Structure 1
C-alpha cells in the first residue's frame, strides 16, 4: 500500500454519479490528493437495509454505479480498497431465498447459521448472555420460511442480514468467489467487515476468539495468494486492537478519533501520549468513517469483569460524549443511541467537524495529528469537505449514521472546495503525501502537558508538528523538499 493519504467514499454520494464520475473527480478537482481510495460497498444493491453492507449479490457491481470493467479502470489510476462482508448476506439473496423455499432440503442449508447450528445441545440463558453483542438484544431472529418451517436465524446486526457459516464448505466457496472477483478487477486491498463476529462457538463470546484469529489467518493467506492485502475492522478494547495488529496486515486506529477530541476538550496530551507509546504502526489512521465516532476503543474493557481500565476514565468519557452533543447543538444526540435505528452502543453519530463545533483551527489541528502519526491516513469524503450534519437525511431515513453520509452534488463539491478550511486541509494532504520525511523515522518529542510534538526525519529531510491543545492550534515546520503529486 502506498504511504499516501487515501479517500473513503461511497461511489454515489460524492458527485452523485457512478464509478466513472468518481474517477473524473479524482482526475479533476481532487487530482493529486489521494494515492488510494476505499470504495464503500458498491455491490448489488447499494440501497438495502444497511447502505450496501447487506449485499444480495456480492460478486456483482450495482448497475447504477457501473460494472467490474469500470472498477478495473479506476485501479489503473489509484489503489482501490473494497469491502468483503464476511459475516452475513441479505435475506433477499438468491441463496437465502432458496433456503427459505426448501428449508433443510435446500442446497444452501449449510450456508446459513441458525440457533441450533451454534447450540446443537440447546442454549442456556447463561450461554446466550455470554455472547458479545454490539447492539441491544440477542443476535437472533425468529423466522417463518417460505416453505412453512419455523427457524431461529443468527443475525448479529439486523434481521435482513443473515449470518453465514464461514467454516462450512459453502461459506468458504462463497467468500473465495468474492476474493476472485475483486482480484480480477485489480483490487489489491480488502477490508474485512464485521470479521470479529464471523465465528460462533457455543459457550463463548462469539467475538474475537482464538478461532476467529485462525479464520482471519486462513482468509488472509488466501487473499495474499491473490496479491491482496487485508485490513481488519474491529472496534474493541485498545489492548485487543494491539493484539489483533500483531497478526494481520493492517488495522484501523479507532482510538485516535475520540482521543483527539478528548485532548482538544481537556487541553491535555496525557491520554494521547499513552496511546502513541503503544499503538500499532501497521494502522490506517482515521478521524471519521461511514460509521460513528467510537467510544469503546478508549474505554474500559467491557468484556472483562475485572474492569481493565481504558485510556480515558469513565467520567471523562461521559463528559466527552456530552461535549460532542453540545458542540453539535444537540444534533448528534438525535442520531445516537436509542434516538435512532440501526444503532451501535459504542458510537456517537456526528460529523467530525460538527463534533468540534465547526472550529476550523481545532479541525485542522486534529487532521495534522492524524497525518503525523505512523500509518497510512484515510480521509472520509464528508471529512474532506469539513461537512456538516445532514439532519434532513437523518429525518428521512431515521438511521443515525446517515447524519454523516451526505449526498454531495458536483456543484456542492466545487463550492465546498473553495472554503478556506478545506483548502488548508488539501494543503496538509499534499504535504503528507509528498514530503520525504514521512518515509523515515518517527519521534514523539518531550513537551508540556498541553503540548504534543511529533517529528519525522529521513536523512536531511524532516517535518515537525507542534500542537497546542489549550489553544487548539497547530504549527508545522519542515525542511525544503520538492513535493511531487500523488
Structure 2
C-alpha cells in the first residue's frame, strides 16, 4: 500500500459533530472529495487521560465515540490513519491493573520497565537522569502492590499526574512485541492503512544517553515493526520531535518523517515578511515527509529548530504569538535549554488566530504548505479557520485546549460558509487534482518579500507566487489544453 500524495485531515473522533458517526456524516455532507489522502483519527480508543493518548487498549473503540464498524465505514471512502503509542499504555489498562494487584507475579509484569531493568539495584542515579531528555520532573512513578503492600517503581516518560497515567512499555520484552503484533493485526482487520508511531523516540532507555532516539537501538525497533506492518499492508509514520538532523537520519533510513520545521518557518516568513530562511530550508529538506501547520499540540520550536533559528529571532516570533493569544509549552530539562535560557518547546495556538485572523495570510500559509514536497495534513480547527479557544483553556487548565475546540453540527454548518474556508477548500482541490505535484519541485530565487515555488511533470506546470507585503497569493498553471491560467487564491 502506498501513501497517496493527496491532502489528509487530522481530527479527534469527537471534534466534528461529537462522535465517529457524525464525523462520517460531516465528511459525506461537506467534504466528500476533499481528503483524498485520508483521515487521521486521533486516538479513538478507551483512554484514561491526555485526550486519548493514554490508551487502555487498541482492540476496542471507546463506546462514546462509536465502534470499529464506524471506523470501517469511514475507511470505505478514505484511508484511515490511527496512532499506536509504542512508548506507553494507560495505568488503567488491564495489563497494568493486573501488575498493580500481583506485582512481579503478574502475567503482564514483563511488559513494564521496573527500575532494576535500568539500574541493577533498582535505585535511580541523579547523574544519569540529568543527561536524559525529560518530559516530567522525574521519569518514573511509584505504586503500591495490592497483594504484598510492597512498592514498585516503573518508568513513566509522560504524564502530569504523580503517579503518572502513562506507563512505559519495555520494548525489549517479547511480551511487548507480541502485544504490538496483536494491535497491528487488529488494525489491519479494521482496514486501517497508516499507523503513526507516537512517541517512538522515547522507547529506548539506556544509561549514559538522553534516553531519546538512542542509536542503533531505535532503528532495530523501527525495522522490526516496519516489517511487521508491511506484512499487514500497513504504512508506518514515526513521530519524533527532535533536532531536525535526527529527523533526517530517519528519512535517510527510508522512513516517512514529520516536517516539524515547516510550521514555524511559515509563521516566521509571514510575520517577518521575509522568505530567505524558508527558501533555504525548502531547498535542503528531504521530500519524504508529512507536512502540517497546526495540530493537537502546538507549533514546534525546541528542540526541532535548534541550530536553524537564533534565540533573538525565535523570541520575536514567540512574543508576537503571545500578543495574539497563544500560550507556551516549555522544556523541562536544563541540559536541553539554550545556553541563554530560551526554553520554548511549542507555541500553542490556532494557526488562523496566530496569523491575526488575516484570511490572505492564512491562505498564503496553506499554499506554502501544499506546494512543499510531502503529504499535507490539515488539522480540523485549521480546516474551519477556528480561533483560539481561550474559554476551554480556562475551563480545563490545559494550555493545549486552545486549539482543540469541539465543533457542533451547527458550528460546522456555519463555518463552511466562511469565505476563508471556501477558498481553502478550493486550494485543497487544486493540490489534490493537479498532476504536476507528482513531478519535480523548484524553489525560485526571488526578492526577500516574495515566495515563488514550482512543480512540473511532463506538460503540466504550476507556480505559486506570494507577495509577503500584502499576502496575495497567485498560482500560474497550465491547463489540460496547454493554456496558461491564473488562479488567485
TM-score (norm 1): 0.92
Pairing partner for 2:308 from 307, 311, 321: 311
Match of 1:252, SS state, is strand
Separation in structure 2 between the aligned mates of residue 63 and residue 16 of structure 1, nearest angstrom: 12
Separation in structure 2 between the aligned mates of residue 449 and residue 110 of structure 1, nearest angstrom: 57
Separation in structure 1 between the aligned mates of residue 364 and residue 75 of structure 2, nearest angstrom: 32
Residue aligning to 1:178: 183
Separation in structure 2 between the aligned mates of residue 364 and residue 13 of structure 1, nearest angstrom: 23
Deviation at 1:176, TM superposition (A): 0.9
Separation in structure 1 between the aligned mates of residue 143 and residue 472 of structure 2, nearest angstrom: 55
Match of 1:162, SS state, is strand
Separation in structure 2 between the aligned mates of residue 466 and residue 363 of structure 1, nearest angstrom: 15
Contact 2:136 / 2:158 at 8 angstroms: preserved in 1?
Answer: no
Separation in structure 1 between the aligned mates of residue 197 and residue 311 of structure 2, nearest angstrom: 30
Separation in structure 2 between the aligned mates of residue 136 and residue 67 of structure 1, nearest angstrom: 33
Pairing partner for 1:42 from 41, 44, 53: 44
Match of 2:208, SS state, is coil
Separation in structure 2 between the aligned mates of residue 352 and residue 291 of structure 1, nearest angstrom: 12
Contact 1:266 / 1:470 at 8 angstroms: preserved in 2?
Answer: no
Deviation at 1:297, TM superposition (A): 5.2
Match of 2:58, SS state, is strand
Residue aligning to 1:410: 409
The answer as to 2:167 corresponding to 1:162 is: yes
Deviation at 1:381, TM superposition (A): 0.2
Deviation at 1:443, TM superposition (A): 0.8
Residue aligning to 1:152: 153
Residue aligning to 1:307: none
Separation in structure 1 between the aligned mates of residue 178 and residue 347 of structure 2, nearest angstrom: 36
TM-score (norm 2): 0.91
Match of 1:202, SS state, is coil
Separation in structure 1 between the aligned mates of residue 391 and residue 124 of structure 2, nearest angstrom: 43
Residue aligning to 1:362: 361
Where do 1:70-469 residues align within 5 Å? 70-121=70-121, 122-133=123-134, 135-147=135-147, 148-158=149-159, 159-210=164-215, 211-296=217-302, 298-300=304-306, 310-326=307-323, 328=324, 331-333=325-327, 336-337=329-330, 346-469=345-468
Deviation at 1:298, TM superposition (A): 4.9
Contact 2:274 / 2:448 at 8 angstroms: preserved in 1?
Answer: yes
**Unaligned segments of structure 2, at least 5 residues:** 332-342, 482-489
**Unaligned segments of structure 1, at least 5 residues:** 301-309, 339-343
Separation in structure 1 between the aligned mates of residue 137 and residue 151 of structure 2, nearest angstrom: 20
Residue aligning to 1:304: none
Q: Deviations over 1:386-407 (max 9, x none)?
A: 1111112111211111111001
RMSD of aligned residue pairs (Cα, Å): 1.6
Change (3 A) 1:345 1:85: farther
Q: Deviations over 1:22-49 (max 9, x none)?
A: 112111111211011001001113xx32
Contact 1:298 / 1:312 at 8 angstroms: preserved in 2?
Answer: no
Residue aligning to 1:303: none
Equivalent residues, number: 460
Separation in structure 1 between the aligned mates of residue 102 and residue 77 of structure 2, nearest angstrom: 46
Residue aligning to 1:12: 14
Point out the more displaced range, 362-371 or 63-72. Answer: 63-72
The answer as to 2:72 corresponding to 1:66 is: no
Deviation at 1:345, TM superposition (A): 5.3
Deviation at 1:178, TM superposition (A): 0.7
Separation in structure 1 between the aligned mates of residue 254 and residue 262 of structure 2, nearest angstrom: 19
Separation in structure 2 between the aligned mates of residue 240 and residue 79 of structure 1, nearest angstrom: 28
Separation in structure 1 between the aligned mates of residue 376 and residue 384 of structure 2, nearest angstrom: 16
Deviation at 1:136, TM superposition (A): 4.2
Separation in structure 1 between the aligned mates of residue 81 and residue 191 of structure 2, nearest angstrom: 10
Separation in structure 1 between the aligned mates of residue 305 and residue 377 of structure 2, nearest angstrom: 23
List structure 1 segments (4+ residues) > 3 angstroms apart after TM superposition.
335-338
Separation in structure 2 between the aligned mates of residue 481 and residue 368 of structure 1, nearest angstrom: 22
